[in-house]
Structure 1
Amino acid sequence: MTASLQTTQPQAIVSRSFIEDSLPATADFNEIALISPSVSMNGGVNGTGLSESKAQIRGFQDAEYNITYDGVPFGDTNDPSHHSNTFFPSNTIETLVVERGPGNASNLGIATFGGSLNLFSRATREDASAELKAGYGTWNTWIARAVLQSGAIDKLGGTEIMLSGQHTESDGARSYSPFHSNNVFGKIMIPISPDVKLTVLGTYNENRFNQPDKDGVTASQRDLYGKNFSLNNDPTSQSYFGYNYTHKTTDFEIVKLEANIAPGSTLTNSAYTYSYDNETVSGNDVTLYATATPAQLTAANANLVFLDPAHPKVSTTGVPGYTKTNKYRVWGDIVKARIQVADFLTVTAGGWLEHADTYRQQRDVDLVTLAPNYIEKAVTNPVTGAATPANIKFDQNSKTDHVEVFGEAELHPLPGLTITPGFKHVEFTRKIDAAYNQTTRFAQNISNTYRADLPFATINYAVNERLAVYGQFAKGFLAPPLSVLYVANPQLSSLSPQKSTNYQAGFVYHGSRLSLDADVYYIDFTNKFTSFTSPVPGEGVVFVNSGKAVYKGVEGQATYAFGNGLAIFANASRNYAETNNDNTPHLQLANAPYWTAAGGLLYKQGPIRFSLIDKYTGPQSATGDGNPSYRIPGYNTAILGASYSFGKFRVGVQVDDLFNSTNLTNIAAGKTAQFDQLYYQPGRSVMGDITVTF
């Protein structure tokens, strides 16, 4: 782990060699980022990369920070959350940079708020090569990967092509939870001229897995079946694996043009598109089987379905569940021009345009036959009087349009000193055109536009060639999610974007053997979204800005290289993420660890590669309300990796969760404690692999 001497905010850079040598081949991008200071993670309960995980940065949750791929921000369109194993498995990532802050004005994203995970695509190479990898391990997990490099093709002006394919299968750590994944990736770098380069990349990913939408385990299920219970093989149960399955497909394409337009001046344009399609079938409530006898279940309608819309009170035996669709296509373009005006002044300006179309639906069915199940409450359109079919929870189209324009000036008033003030204007529009809107369940056509003006100022001073200090002031913003438009009277809600004011300062030192950096930060968070039910009859739910929080802490990381292939590293953070409301106690926010720590040793000499790393996540609260029943103790994850090369072959082994920790990592609170969903570490897994390089 290290930071750049030119950084203006805290960061950690994770290299490809660390990904290859120290992490399981199935790792997702959250697992790669986890080793960084102030980064924690929950989820991944089916095994590393075999189910979705969520990362936190300084206590900011997924959807409160950006994730980018080659500079392109991406995320869901109903809120900027992410799917860790859906777009970019580890074979598509060359480097990952964790930035803990909003960055400069030129840092783009819908959530320039809590930081960024910046993924960079696999690099093309000047030399031709081929690499084949096969691995097998715990839970009948196996992976096959191929990476092909064309090298510089003289007949095509030095064009370089990189292709990769990967297939993963596993029975999974949890009961009846198999996982299957396919990924293909391609990248072409075309040197059009000495000053112009065109890069085209694309990746396609497919995941199939068995998992309920409520994917934790209740306390009763844990006591009966163990921490890794998820699904069963009983076709009369909502937890039957044959009734709980998901098929996800994604693609992501970027066309990037980079040109040197004058000495010290560049122009970059990235046009992109990506899509996500989630098709799910799930039991209505798999937690019911945790606490009830068969007689109680029948009394609670858990095994009853209503198949006749003309007689909605007439039931028959069945298994209630639902189908779900969430799919979107995003189009965008990012342009940045960097102009050197004088030796002491460089100006960067540009903009970002993005449009997204989304379709989401959910319908109740009898899981045995997939026939409509008419169980929803009766709803009529308040304008037309039309009745909503009782099997439809929602059927909704939505659109988003996002515009950002920015400018910043990089000033060099003194040798080694860089001062960069900047400004960004953001406009974000959400539109819903729903035949049956979510929650209200009647037709609605709604739109709202959110705006923010964000100032930035950063400073970096190179004290000498090995030591730099930096500071940052920045405003961050987070647009409201689509769910604020799931109300009967949206005109009654008055929402502004959530905003943060960030102050940070730190230093970076790179010696001949020692790399060291540390920082302190203070972030004031305002305009938190909350909702209430209006006391006025007919007004329903209203969203308002009410609530504040403060994030503050200290972070540091160090690496020492002994010079014989051996290096040791350590990092730690003390993080406060507390409510800051008037007349209320200062409580640590939900899923915000009080501290994190990591350490390990790395050895890479001749044919031997060895690493042992451990990440400790400190105690946290699952609910953020101070309830001791939802306090989660600290836990750690240790990973051992070792490999040996001989000739064209390399054999290796990775042991994830070396000490077989199966501790609690998260709690999703239910209506009552008996329905709480508990999430545990899946336990130790071992994978051996062999790599052949040509």
Structure 2
Amino acid sequence: MTNSVPHTRWLRATALSLIFSSIAGIAHAETRPAISSDPIPAADDIEKTSDTAPKSDIAEGSDIIITATKANEIAPVTASLQATQPQSVISRSFIEDSLPATSDFNQIALISPSVSGYGNYNGNGLSESKAQIRGFQDGEYNVTYDGVPFGDTNDPTHHSNTFFPSNTIETLVVDRGPGNASQLGQATFGGNINLFSRATRDDVGLELKGTYGSYNTYLLRGVAQSGAIDALGGTEVALSAQRIRSDGARSFSPFKSTNIFGKIMIPIGPDARLTLLGTYNENRFNQPDKDGATLSQIAQFGRNFSLNNDPNSQSYFGYNSTHKKTDFEIVKFEADIAPNSTFENRAYTYSYDNETLSGSDVTLYATASPNAIAGANMVTLTQGGTKVSGVPGYTKTNKYRMFGDIAKTRIDFGFGAITVGAWLEWSNTYRQQRDVNLLTGARNYAEKIPNDPTTGKPYLPALNPTPSDIKFDQNSHSNHTEEFVELELRPIPGLKITPGFKHVDFNRQIDALFNQTTRVPQKLSKTYSADLPFLTVNYAVNDTLAVYGQYARGFLAPALGVLYVAHPGASTVVPERSTNYQAGLVYHGHSLSIDADVYKIDFTNKFSSSTNDPAVGTVFFNQGSVQYKGVEGQITYALPRGLAVFANGSRNYAKTDNPGTPNLQVANAPEWTAAGGLLYKNGPIKFSLIDKYVGRQWFADPTTTDPTRYNLYRSNGYNTAILSARYTLGPVTVGVEVNNLFNSRPVTNIGPSSKTPLGDIGHATPTNFDQYYYQTGRAFTGDITVKL
């Protein structure tokens, strides 16, 4: 199948962008000024630094700066006076001073109102975590790095500790909304977590950091800045390397990670600059593919149980290991093509390679009787043979390479500005899963004979196309294009009205030797399109107060799993849609920083599936809707002598709006969040005590009008307090962090199993196969940082 239509649309939009650039160049042929330090504004046009802007602890070096008031200079999270949607800006100083150095980007984002999370069960940054924004799950919002969206290729979910550890992040901005037309991503739907890379600086510097703490965890990090190299026209280089090693909080779960980061900013004459960025990350760890523990396992081994040292068990640590490698590269060119006219292009590529070995069912250990475990530890070593004793498991590969390009032009014409651009992205993915006998690595022919798509019945053994040790072996591809335009109007001083429009085309293709779920050879393709309007307004009432409003349409294409069916033509699924309405205000006084907002989001076309017709098999369709609404706010008050208090919170409704399950909160969507704390920065001393609360939530979606099962998967909430203290003497800073200060250990997530009877839910019985996840206990970290 050709992909000429998406490519043609991208070329058309890029050509339009270049035409605008040429027109601007002709219209302003006079002598051009030196390139501004203000790049093309991001989706929310937050304030940028300039060559004369004062240095600040607020998002230092990231080209993002918040009004430098006394309150904002110490606030852990704040917002911009130019915001057009609710946002939280988190600076490098907060990341460095108040969080463990191993923290991933979800741990950083957790300080924001309406952001909740779970994961990190092996320790901060030592296992993956998931974040939710207003109850929207990972895969329903975008994550970007320097404006480049990234995510998996089967659906737009993310791996929190795999690409960008905290040493690669200068600033993090949580946008609680889909943004405007220039906000790019597969899930322009529930919000955005925008990461900004470590900045290059014009002064030479070297920073060395070492940490050691609980679970025998150490981190070594180095960050070097070349400063402006006069011999190379002012070129600036930033390099970083980091190594983490830990025994892990959970049993037999060691973790090792290596990251290398580099960034070069090259001035090209007075009007342009080129930025080259690259990062490589490698993680090795021991963990089952589905890593929760059952209540029976917890009763016998404790809440930190994960793996054991019994080679006859599927939970043996030697049978459960993962090796992940990633890289991410960006080449960004930006230029002032004429006065008040800029052009920017970002070409990028990134890859992910996950090689996993796992036990088939780690819930069996200490869950069922010894006879039941022995019965499960059986393998079939020949096609169609009889079962013999063994330890069943599987190998898994998931690797992909993404390529993309983002081009945009902005022309300011006095009473307004227009931005035109396009995004093109395509991917190649290989995924496989094969059953093995973990004792020897030999093939385990454990799978059933697949169904013939023509008859809906199992193949005759002689006609079976699929070896019974192969669960799937699949290549897939995607092509994604977005063209957008924004028109910013400034009819009166202080007022910005920005309508925008974006067109989306998203194509998925499968070329499977043996497709996932169906286990038969298949070639499939599906294209989804959307037209998305946007409107944002920001009005600066005065120098300290601004109000804003937003209307936006969101779009989320179905996951690749929609094509794991025998009869794709029988599915009627279309993209999920959201309609967002929100308004708020931002105030930055000398000692007081405050912002608040209200929102309402209508979410329709929720994905669903059915197997009602055995001859057809699984089909996907849209059924149901969810309404999100709430109120959010954050405040910081600066007291004398470097002391400040802050608080933020949200009340979040994420209720079903369906005839069968009306007005029930969806899974993993807390009803409220709250954070508060005390910060002190004065002279050589820095101190913070921060506590984040996540309110009541459910861990199963409401799928029936009978609330019994739904309510058995409920949590009353949990909190995490972090204490941090640091003292600087000359070039040396000594610090200590205590994570989960009060040793809170509640359940933060449950993975329900369809095998668990209703009466066994919540009980440590042999037939309860639900997997429980508990908050990691109190952990201590000490660190030494030397800056030269």
Tell me the TM-score normalised to structure 2 length.
0.86
Residue 91 (structure 1) aligns with: 167
What's 2:3 paired with?
none
Deviations 1:539-590 (A, max 9, x none): 1111011110100000000011124211211000000001011353210000
On the 8 A contact 1:381/1:388 being kept in 2, the answer is no
Deviations 1:606-636 (CA, angstroms, capped at 9, x unpaired): 1111111010000100003242210111110
Q: Does the CA-based 8 Å contact 1:558-1:569 persist in structure 2?
A: yes
In structure 2, distance between residues paired with 1:610 and 1:488 = 59
Name the count of aligned residue pairs. 688
User: Is structure 2 residue 654 aligned with structure 1 residue 577?
Assistant: yes
- For 1:388-436, what per-residue CA distance to the aligned partner results, in whole angstroms no more than 9, with x for missing partners? 1000000000000000000010000111110000000000000000000
Q: Classify 1:583/1:139 alpha carbon distance in 2 versus 1 (closer, same or farther; 3 Å).
A: closer
Q: 1:493 aligns with which of 571, 574, 581?
A: 571
- Structure 2 counterpart of 1:394, from 457, 461, 472: 472
Matched, 1:379 2:379: no
1:240 CA displacement:
0.2
Q: 1:630 aligns with which of 713, 717, 720?
A: 713
- The match for 1:45 among 108, 121, 124 is 121
Which residue of structure 1 lines up, in the alignment, with residue 60 of structure 2? none
The equivalent residue for 2:429 is 358
Shift in Å, 1:382: 4.7
- Show the counterpart of 1:680: 774
Identity rate of aligned residues, in percent?
68
Q: Which moved more, 1:597-606 or 1:436-445?
A: 597-606
1:298 counterpart SS class: helix
SS at match of 2:374: helix
Hey, what does 1:319 align to over in structure 2?
A: 391
Residue 80 of structure 1: how far off its partner (Å): 0.2
- Return the offset for 1:263: 1.6
Name the structure 2 match of 1:533.
611
**Native 8 Å contact 2:449 2:464 kept in 1:** no
What does residue 783 of structure 2 align with? Answer: 689
Q: Does 1:608 align with 2:670?
A: no
1:156-167 alignment, distance < 5 Å: 156-167=232-243
Question: Does residue 463 in structure 1 map to residue 557 in structure 2?
Answer: no
* SS of aligned partner of 1:238: coil
Counterpart Cα distance in 1 of 2:648 and 2:340: 36
Please, which of 123, 134, 141 is the counterpart of residue 58 of structure 1? 134
Q: Write the distance in 1 (CA, Å) between the matches of 2:464 and 2:695.
A: 53
Q: Does residue 431 of structure 1 match 2:506? A: no
Q: Give, in whole Å, the separation in 2 of the partners of 1:693 and 1:4.
A: 30
CA deviation map 1:112-151 (0-9, x unaligned):
0000000000001110010111111100000000000000
Name the SS of the counterpart of 1:276 in structure 2.
strand
Q: Distance in 2 between matches of 1:107 and 1:214?
A: 34
Deviation at 1:360, TM superposition (A): 0.2
The CA distance in 2 between the partners of 1:296 and 1:582, in whole Å, is 42
1:283 corresponds in structure 2 to 359
Over aligned residues, Cα RMSD in angstroms? 1.0
Contact 2:606 2:625 in 1 (8 A): yes
Cα distance between partner residues in 1 of 2:741 and 2:270: 50
2-structure distance, mates of 1:386, 1:293: 35
User: Hey, what does 1:72 align to over in structure 2?
Assistant: 148
1:369 alignment partner AA: T
Structure 2 equivalent of residue 116 of structure 1: 192
Among 460, 464, 472, the alignment partner of 2:550 is 472
1:415 corresponds to: 493
- In 2, the alpha carbon distance for the partners of 1:197 and 1:642 equals 40
What is the letter of the counterpart of residue 269 of structure 1? Answer: N
Mapped partners of 1:532, 1:81: distance in 2? 24
Cα distance in structure 2, aligned partners of 1:272 and 1:555: 35
Q: Distance in 2 between matches of 1:42 and 1:59?
A: 12
1:549 to 622, 626, 636: 626
Q: Is the 8 A contact 1:7 1:470 kept in 2?
A: yes
Cα separation, 1, equivalents of 2:625 and 2:427: 30
CA distance in 2, matches of 1:93, 1:295: 51
Higher strand proportion: 1
Which residue, out of 706, 722, 727, partners 1:639? 722
Q: How far apart are the structure 1 equivalents of 2:378 and 2:659? A: 48
Give the C-alpha shift of residue 381 in structure 1.
Answer: 5.2
Contact 2:266 2:275 in 1 (8 A): yes
SS at match of 2:663: coil
* CA positional deviation for 1:451: 0.4
- The SS at the match of 2:82 is coil
Counterpart amino acid of residue 686 in structure 1? F
Q: How far did 1:298 drift?
A: 2.5
**Cross-structure match for 2:50:** none
Alpha-carbon contact 1:381-1:387 (below 8 Å) kept: no
Residue 595 of structure 1: aligned partner: 672
Q: Is the 8 A contact 2:152 2:158 kept in 1?
A: yes
- Contact kept? 1:247, 1:278, Cα under 8 Å: yes
Moved over 3 A (4+): 380-386
- Give, in angstroms, the shift of residue 387 of structure 1: 2.4
Amino acid at match of 1:630: Y
Structure 2 contact 240–260 (Cα < 8 Å) conserved:
yes
Q: Is the 8 A contact 2:533 2:552 kept in 1?
A: yes
CA-CA distance at 1:380 after TM superposition: 6.0
Q: Cα deviations across residues 84-126 of structure 1 (Å, max 9, x unaligned)?
A: 0000000000000000001110100000000000000000111
The range that moved more, 559-568 or 20-29, is 559-568
Residue of structure 2 aligned with 1:197, choices 273, 278, 283:
273
State the 1:648 CA deviation. Answer: 1.6
Question: Within 1, Cα distance between the matches of 2:174 and 2:491?
Answer: 29
Partner SS for 2:365: helix
SS at match of 1:220: helix
Question: Separation in 1 of the partners of 2:440 and 2:585?
Answer: 63
Counterpart amino acid of residue 361 in structure 1: Q
How does the TM-score come out when normalised to structure 1? 0.98
Contact 2:245 2:255 (C-alpha < 8 Å) held by counterparts: yes
Mapped partners of 1:296, 1:358: distance in 2: 38
Aligned to 1:254: 330
Aligned amino acid, residue 559 of structure 1: T
Alpha-carbon distance change, 7 to 443 in structure 1, aligned in 2, over 3 angstroms: same
Counterpart for residue 68 of structure 2: none
The alignment status of 1:13 with 2:89, answered yes or no, reads yes
**Structure 1 unmatched ranges of 5 or more:** none
Q: CA deviation at 1:378?
A: 1.2
Long gaps (5+) in structure 2: 1-76, 762-767
Superposed displacement of residue 465, structure 1:
0.6
Query: Retained in 1: the 8 A contact 2:451–2:518?
Result: no
Give the counterpart of 1:329 among 377, 401, 405: 401
On the 8 A contact 1:139/1:173 being kept in 2, the answer is: yes
In structure 2, what is the Cα distance between the partners aligned to 1:371 and 1:645? Answer: 57
- Paired residues of 2:453 and 2:566 also in contact (CA < 8 A): no
Q: Quick check: 1:332–1:354 contact (8 Å CA) kept in 2?
A: yes
Distance across 1 between alignment mates of 2:117 and 2:736? 24
Once the two structures are superposed, residues 312-340 of structure 1 have per-residue CA deviations (whole angstroms, 9 ceiling, x without a partner) of: 24122110000000000000000111111
| Matched residue, 1:504 | 582
